[in-house]
């Protein structure tokens, strides 16, 4: 029988072909994804490398500029006018002191003009209490500022430091008569605005930004979003010479950081991720075109696979299914001149041959069944006939005319059913009526030692068709083989059990002669039919039921709860007309 569960969609060759195609395409998809990810990573690495290179170049250039300022600063410490003003100012006249101050201012101005990053150069001379500026000239010394610069500085080494929101380089000359304070300090003020503008050389990409951090000073350069944003929030908490991603103004930015230990400064660059994504957009477009092409190929492959392979196979499977259900008139036509045309032609020829063979086999089966039925009809137990005449003779001698009339009517009905050559099938109620006639006849003989409990046939089972002579021989087997030698209390029970799709007739007895070996032999004979062996009545009935209904129907034998043999006859519910 065709099992629809076995022919589920997931078990079809069509699905397997599609899955095979997907398995073939999967590495291509994975390769595309890998290449896209590799391109993104490579672009990010190249971007980070370029940004870091620009930042390190900027810091290196700034280091060189600061180093040059320091050299000028150190040279100014040895200026003769500055040293004479700091040491010999008391011995100078007013005119000479003014001349020395002007000469010093000109040198400081030269240092000022040496770099655009310098906003002012001051010489703080502690002994005379004056500050000489490259811009404003001589001023009164701010002792608090002088002490703060001295406290922040370390020896003569010039270093960038923060003071009053300014960045400066300082160098000092130790010491005068006052050992706690240096003679003078050369201070170079850095122009933070100009320093911020120099960050522009770091901005390699459009809409990017740069942040120079030194201590608490933040110098920003770039797009308006950076200039208008809180500089504190731009500082990325990451390791030096690191990279990462931040969200700023609703946009994602790729961040790199480069640090200079010499300057104690860090340059952060903020590059929009669109700089990465835009070059990749073309690759993404090509990727989508590739995906669309693959999907189109899959659709075309699926369509033609379904049309040229799956559909013809499905037609063949459906034809086999119809054939399994007994449709022998089926014929498959195929227009294309391919392998399926040959297969369909062989299938059609097979159906023709099968139809011929089935016709022959069916006729042989009918003839065999009828021959078996005739054989069964002819197998009238002579002992039953002799005993029936003996009972009839006894009734005549005793003058039991009413009993003779009843008995002869029963006996006539029995032999009429057995010997009539009509339909091979009868209604169940006729078959059961015949079996009751038999048990009534046998009850006259064994009434003193065998009791028959014959359940009434349910009315809904009466019209179902069954093969003739299938119940009475089973009952006869109980009388002849199980209970004939019992002296008393013999019992035969005939009952009916109904299910949704079929029903069962159960015949069981309480005989005490059934052995396990004989029960096994009967069960083996039912399950393994051998045409060369002699066919018993029960095997004959079992085969006829199988011929009529199919392999799942027939007889089963087992030991009864009563102690004897239990025969279960399973039959199909099938209504029809009978001419018996």
What are the tens digits of pLDDT across the range 87-125?
887 778 888 888 888 988 899 899 999 889 898 999 988
Q: Which fold does the domain 196-276 belong to in CATH? A: Beta-Lactamase (3.30.450)
Tell me: pLDDT of 548 over 60. yes
The CATH number of the domain covering residues in 379-572: 3.30.565.10
pLDDT > 90: what percent of the chain? 7
Tell me: pLDDT of 155 over 80. no
The yes-or-no answer to whether 78-189 and 196-276 have a common fold is: yes
264-279 mean pLDDT: 78
pLDDT mean across residues, the chain: 78
Considering only 296-300, 329-333, 419-423, which range has the smallest mean pLDDT?
A: 419-423
Kindly list the domain boundaries of the chain, sorted by start residue: 9-48+280-323, 78-189, 196-276, 379-572
Q: How far apart are CA 387 and CA 385, in angstroms?
A: 5
Tell me: pLDDT of 2 over 50. no
Rg of the chain over all Cα atoms, to the nearest angstrom: 59
Tell me: pLDDT of 1 over 50. no
Q: Per the structure block, which two tokens stand in for 553?
A: 């129907």
Helices (H), 117-219: 143-152, 192-197
pLDDT for 505 equals 94
DSSP secondary-structure letter at 156?
T
Residue 452 and residue 437 in contact, taking contact as beta carbons nearer than 8 Å: no
Per residue in 25-70, pLDDT (tens digit) is: 788 778 877 877 787 777 777 877 888 888 888 888 888 988 898 8
Confidence of residue 4 (pLDDT cuts 50, 70, 90): very low
Residue 187 and residue 121 in contact, taking contact as beta carbons nearer than 8 Å: yes
Confidence of residue 356 (pLDDT cuts 50, 70, 90): confident
Residue with tokens 């590059």, as numbered in its chain: 271
Q: Per the structure block, which two tokens stand in for 369?
A: 């069944």
CB burial readout 164-178, b (16+ within 10 A) else e: eeebbbbbbbeeeee
CB burial readout 340-367, b (16+ within 10 A) else e: beeebeebbeebeeeeeeeeeeeeeeee
Considering only 60-74, 408-422, 484-498, which range has the smallest mean pLDDT?
A: 408-422
393-411 mean pLDDT: 73
Q: Of the ranges 74-88, 377-391, 541-555, 556-570, which is most confident?
A: 556-570
Query: Is CATH 3.30.450 the classification given to domain 78-189?
Result: yes
Considering only 77-91, 137-151, 372-386, 526-540, which range has the smallest mean pLDDT?
A: 372-386
Per residue in 196-246, pLDDT (tens digit) is: 888 887 777 777 878 888 776 677 776 655 656 666 556 544 434 456 777
pLDDT for 497 equals 92
Q: How far apart are CA 184 and CA 127, in angstroms?
A: 8
Residue 564 burial (CB count, 10 A): 23
Q: Per the structure block, which two tokens stand in for 300?
A: 């075309």
Residue 78 burial (CB count, 10 A): 9
DSSP secondary-structure letter at 310?
I
3-state secondary structure of 285: helix
Q: Closest Cα partner for 569 from 480, 470, 473?
A: 470
pLDDT for 234 equals 60
Which residues are within 8 A (CB) of 580 and not within 5 positions of it... i.e. 6 or more apart? 417, 420, 422, 423, 426, 427, 430, 468
Per residue in 161-188, pLDDT (tens digit) is: 877 778 888 888 876 555 677 888 888 9
């Amino acid at each position: 029988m065709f099992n629809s569960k076995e022919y589920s969609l997931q078990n079809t060759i069509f699905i397997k072909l599609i899955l095979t195609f997907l398995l073939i395409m999967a590495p291509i998809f994975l390769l595309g994804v890998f290449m896209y990810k590799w391109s993104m990573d490579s672009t990010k690495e190249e971007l980070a490398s370029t940004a870091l290179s620009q930042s390190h170049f900027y810091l290196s250039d700034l280091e060189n500029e600061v180093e040059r300022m320091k050299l000028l600063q150190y040279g100014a410490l040895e200026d003769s006018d500055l040293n004479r003003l700091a040491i010999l100012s008391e011995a100078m006249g007013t005119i000479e002191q003014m001349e020395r101050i002007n000469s010093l201012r000109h040198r400081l101005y030269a240092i000022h003009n040496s770099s655009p990053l310098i906003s002012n150069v001051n010489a703080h001379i502690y002994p005379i209490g004056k500050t000489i500026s490259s811009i404003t000239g001589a001023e009164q010394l701010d002792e608090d500022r002088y002490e703060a610069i001295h406290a922040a500085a370390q020896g003569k080494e010039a270093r960038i430091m923060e003071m009053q929101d300014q960045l400066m380089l300082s160098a000092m000359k130790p010491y005068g008569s006052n050992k706690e304070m240096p003679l003078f300090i050369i201070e170079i003020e850095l122009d933070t605005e100009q320093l911020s503008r120099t960050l522009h050389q770091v901005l390699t990409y459009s809409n990017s930004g740069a942040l120079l951090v030194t201590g608490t000073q933040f110098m920003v350069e770039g797009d308006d979003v950076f200039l208008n944003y809180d500089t504190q929030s731009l500082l990325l908490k990451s390791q030096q010479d690191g990279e990462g991603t931040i969200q700023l103004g609703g946009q994602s930015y790729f961040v790199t950081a480069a640090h200079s230990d010499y300057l104690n400064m860090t340059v952060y660059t903020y590059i929009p991720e669109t700089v990465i994504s835009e070059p990749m957009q073309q690759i993404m477009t090509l990727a989508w075109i590739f995906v669309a092409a693959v999907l189109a190929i899959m659709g075309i492959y699926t369509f033609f696979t379904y049309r040229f392979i799956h559909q013809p196979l499905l037609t063949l499977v459906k034809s086999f299914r119809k054939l399994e259900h007994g449709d022998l008139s089926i014929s498959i036509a195929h227009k294309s001149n391919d392998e399926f045309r040959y297969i369909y032609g062989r299938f059609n020829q097979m159906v023709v041959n099968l139809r011929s063979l089935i016709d022959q086999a069916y006729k042989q089966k009918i003839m065999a069944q009828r021959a078996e039925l005739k054989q069964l009809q002819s197998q009238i137990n002579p002992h039953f006939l002799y005993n029936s005449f003996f009972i009839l003779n006894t009734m005549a001698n005793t003058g039991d005319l009413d009993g003779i009339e009843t008995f002869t009517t029963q006996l006539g009905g029995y032999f009429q059913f057995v010997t009539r050559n009509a339909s091979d099938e009868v209604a169940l109620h006729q078959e059961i009526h015949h079996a009751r006639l038999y048990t009534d006849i046998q009850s006259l003989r064994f009434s003193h030692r065998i009791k028959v409990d014959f359940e009434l046939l349910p009315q809904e089972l009466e019209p179902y068709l069954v093969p003739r002579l299938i119940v009475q021989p089973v009952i006869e087997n109980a009388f002849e083989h199980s209970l004939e030698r019992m002296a008393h209390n013999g019992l035969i029970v005939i009952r009916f059990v109904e299910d949704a799709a079929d029903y069962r007739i159960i015949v069981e007895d309480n005989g005490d002669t059934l052995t396990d070996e004989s029960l096994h032999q009967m069960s083996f004979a039912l399950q393994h039919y051998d045409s060369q062996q002699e066919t018993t009545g029960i095997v004959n009935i079992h085969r006829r039921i199988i011929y009529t209904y199919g392999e799942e129907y027939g007889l089963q034998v087992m030991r009864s709860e009563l102690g004897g043999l239990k025969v279960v006859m399973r039959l199909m519910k099938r209504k029809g007309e009978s001419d018996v």
